[in-house]
Amino acid sequence: MSEVLLDRSMRIVVGRREPYGVACAARAVAQDIFEVAGFRPRVVEESSDAAGVEILVESDGKLARARGIAAPLAPETFVVRALCAGGRPTLLISGCGERGAIYGLYHLAEAHLGADPFKHLTGYRPPARCPIVLKDPDFTAAPPAFRFRGWHIESHGLMSPWRGTAEHQHANWERFFETLLRCGGNMVKPEINRPESLEVATAQRMGLLITQEHGCPFGVGMWEVGAGVPGFDYSYERSAETYLEAWEDGLRRYPDPTKVIWTVAFRGRGDRPFWETDPERYDTDAKRGALIERVMQAQKALVEKHLGRGAAPLIFNAWMEGNRLLSEGHLHPPEGAYTVWADNGYGSFRSMIAEGCPPEQVKDILPASPPPGMHGVYYHVAMWDFCAPFLTRFVPPERIEREFRRVVERGMTAYVLVNVGRLSHSLLSAAAIADLWRDPSRWVRPEAHGEEGGAAGFLRRWTRRYFGAAAGEAAECYRRCQAGFVRYGEWGGWDDYVFGDVGYARIARGLVQQALSAARRRENDRLAQRFFENRPMTLAEQLAWLTPRLAQAETRWTEALELAEGTLARLEGTARRFFEADIAAQIEINLGFNGFLRSLAEAVTRYERGEFAAALRACRAAKTQAHRAWRGTRRVDHGNWGRGWPKETFYRITCLPLAWEQAEMLERVCKTIVRRRNDPLLLGVNMADTGWEHGVSGPTRTFEFEKPPDEE
């Protein structure tokens, strides 16, 4: 049969013994049909003699074999066959396992209905038509290019729909996991992965595997072990039994331990290198690697004790200093464990500049000739490290193409976990990697795919779908949005370390602390700060470095916003709402934070010169720009993925309070000096009047951005 007609008499048949995830996908596809054709087919458990097309869905291949069709044999694959059963047109979707059937259903929706995998975020719906004619529906899926594929969602608490009743939370987690499954993902790391959490249970029930991060082996955070024990000794040498008990308890708490990818790893208290608290015992990399190997062997034994030898996948998350220890031969993962290499947090496969990895050790970390299929990667398109942007995207598709070309060519396809943050703010980058894991050839050999290949082809397809005739302008807005006009990796020749919302606030804090604290100034004068030139720089030198870059960036962000607002005026309906949330809002957030830091740098410069009235005006200008950044966040408030930010979490995570506090703190100092009209030295100021204590900033009042700053 070359055509199958779907009309109001059709049904989707999912047997009662099929897993919950298959039935859930069938209901989602029924909704897709409703959005296109205006009718919602019934999802039933048994075939009937009634007229109408039936879509038969199975996960065990029995129906396929009974009808002489070669059932899919590779895990997670499926076949779609149009046939005549009982004199009635029938569409058979036969999957190899639960996820095979799920992917078959979503293939039908995307390939023949035009359903958008990201519809819950973009609002996109395909053109209406009724009836629906499926032309040449037969299809045989190839095995996935990557064995494990998924997302790490971080800080979901910023999205109001995730709060509320348990039913409400469950429905929205299902929506998120549905999106991942539509993209061909098969694993997820929700938040910090507590085994008993609602999201873990929901993900497993929907057919997804649970994976774990470097700092939470067995779903237990390194900060949790011994947390309630006074004087607990965090040394593994002296407290091994406590660690092993905590990990074994975590294993038991998972609803389905067979649907877990187990992390074997060891870091120290607070997710930091363990040798920081025991430097004498572990004073060489060889000693550090030896302990990690011992711990991983013990963790592997725990998994085998409960699940059997070789029954569960194991991964070693190298992460930060682990990248270096592994690449230099100081440790070796257990036999059979997949090795997962982490990027630098900004989408480049280099070691991360952080504790345990000083700048001189930053280097490419991908192995040259890894065993095929035994290595994978952990990749960030969102990052919370008090440096990287958190409200705006910063990993362009071109970087993804450059980095993943090496991953695929070296056969590092065992595992790819993408930190997507809340997903809504990193959607383009997350979608690009999902496109890549579904069809690597379009990214690794783009020349063979013409205008559809590579990063440029992906952006062209993306903007054409969502913005139609305005696709060209929208693509340029995306390029500018993630350009990162101020970078702090210039000293290393890198193009990825960019200032964003959090980074702007962090730098502002450093400037104000140096201006108001002699001790902090002396300390900073000795530091090789990576945010400037990776050498000791005085406050005056830092200001001289920043000021022209911020001024140039402000011009470019202003131009980008003008282009975005002009493009927005051409759009209507869901396209307009999506463009505003995904592009215009992010550009305005960047413009606001950049203007905030530029104004605050001017305020500090004026303060240093003793021009306190001018510094006071610059502080107020900085607060106005911080308020503009806040207004940009409000433009995301539409649909179910942005409305009603929980302020206590949102303000803390995004550093808006930190930005505001720095401007307000310096403003109070300047007010005090101007009003007293006496010796304008810091020692002449009553620090209690300014809210400054011991050279460290802290909240001084309830943070509220409902009104513009006082223009007193």
Q: Using H for helix, E for strand and C for coil, what is the string for 328-388?
A: CCCCCCCCCCEEEEECCCCCCCECCCECCECHHHCCECCCCCCCCCCEEEEEECCCCCCCC
pLDDT at 540: 96
Q: Distance (Å, rounded) from C-alpha 56 to C-alpha 45?
A: 10
Highest mean pLDDT: which range of 256-260, 488-492, 643-647? 256-260
How many whole angstroms separate alpha carbon 510 and alpha carbon 539?
Answer: 9
Give tens-digit pLDDT for 496-533.
999 988 899 999 999 999 999 888 898 888 888 888 98
Confidence of residue 171 (pLDDT cuts 50, 70, 90): confident
Phi, psi of 629 (to 5 degrees): -60, -40
Six-digit token string for 118: 């990201």
Walk me through the domains of the chain, giving residue ranges and CATH numbers. 3-140 (3.30.379.10), 148-444 (3.20.20.520), 490-690 (no CATH)
Residue 51 has a pLDDT of 82
More confidently predicted of 274 and 642: 274
Is pLDDT at 535 greater than 50 in this prediction?
Answer: yes
Contact 162, 172 (CB under 8 A): yes
Nearest to 403 by CA among 477, 341, 321: 341
Q: Is the pLDDT of residue 558 over 80?
A: yes
Q: How many Cβ atoms from other residues are within 10 Å of residue 525's Cβ?
A: 13
**Which pLDDT value is given to residue 2?**
82
Kindly report the average pLDDT of the chain as a whole number.
Answer: 88
The answer, yes or no, to whether residue 711 has pLDDT greater than 60, is no
Q: Which residues pair with 421 in a beta bridge?
A: 153
The helix (run of H) or strand (run of E) holding residue 168 is helix 166-182
Cα(618)–Cα(620) distance, integer angstroms: 5
User: Can you give the pLDDT at residue 689?
Assistant: 42
State both tokens at 698.
């802290």
pLDDT tier, 295 (very low <50, low <70, confident <90, very high otherwise): very high
Neighbours of 556 (CB within 10 A): 16
Are 513 and 542 contacting, i.e. CB atoms less than 8 angstroms apart?
Answer: no
Q: Provide mean pLDDT across the span 635-664.
A: 66
Q: Are 126 and 116 in contact (CB under 8 A)?
A: yes
What is the rounded average pLDDT of the residues 333-353? 93
* 184-204 tens-digit pLDDT: 999 999 877 789 988 999 999
Is the model's pLDDT at 663 over the cut of 60? yes
User: DSSP assignment, residue 450?
Assistant: G
Tokens, residue 145: 């290019």
Collapsing DSSP states into helix, strand and coil, what is residue 418? strand
Q: What predicted TM-score, i.e. pTM, was given to this entire model?
A: 0.92
Sheet containing strand 187-190, edge to edge, reads 209-210, 187-190, 148-153, 415-421, 375-380, 338-342, 314-317, 262-263
